[in-house]
A and B are shown apart, each in its own frame.
Chain A
């Protein structure tokens, strides 16, 4: 089955710096790659997603890139703010399936 690896497990940056979180997946049939943000005591919430027919997608300060050949995708957060501090999860889903396979998460801390 699909396996999703996520790195790093923890990331600490200064406010205003950029943060990058990387994920790799194993199943070349995966075609949907969402990123979730989980704030303390809450459920994960979708922040951005990308499909396999697109190489990059941006939404204000966040962007996701996808390299299908290498089977990896990354989350980029620019001009980080303290409210970006949270746990971020990447996930992958195969075409024809509804099941999401999640990475183990990255705890991002943005220091003021």
Chain B
């Protein structure tokens, strides 16, 4: 059981470049989300989705786009990378509602923008 898989694990971008961080889960979870983790800032929500075709903004959405065409995949796009987007990015998934709502996290993508 793979759980939540993020690729790539490491990436270096130049300012202005674009890229997509991939996230896939095989647990049939409806809810998926992206967080960024910066030193001393904890985990901050970027975007989230409650199902295929439905996405919404979190706390820090500027500079990022998402889409959810399937239940399994939730890619995060940086259209024009900036040094302020240097961070570690985590994707998470969980079931919607009910009592079994543990959030499972991927291993993270460490992104450096130079």
Contact = CB atoms under 8 A, between A and B. Distances in A.
B107 A42 contact: yes
A42 B104 CA distance: 12
Contacts of B42: 6, 89, 102-105
Interface in A23-70: 32, 34, 36, 41-46, 49
A46 B108 CA distance: 16
A101 B40 CA distance: 15
Interface string B63-95: 000000000000000000000000000101010
Contacts of B43: 44, 89, 102
B38 to A, nearest CB: 10
Q: Which of A42, A98, A101, A105 has the most CB of B within 10 A?
A: A98
B105 A45 contact: yes
A86 interface: no
Interface residues of B, number: 26
A101 B97 CA distance: 16
A9 interface: yes
A100 interface: yes
Interface of A: 6, 9, 32, 34, 36, 41-46, 49, 89, 98-105
Interface of B: 4, 31, 33, 35, 40-45, 48, 50, 58, 90, 92, 94, 96-97, 101-108
22 contacts: A32-B101, A34-B102, A34-B103, A41-B107, A41-B108, A43-B105, A43-B106, A43-B108, A44-B43, A44-B105, A46-B103, A89-B43, A98-B50, A98-B97, A99-B45, A99-B48, A100-B45, A100-B103, A101-B45, A102-B43, A102-B44, A105-B42
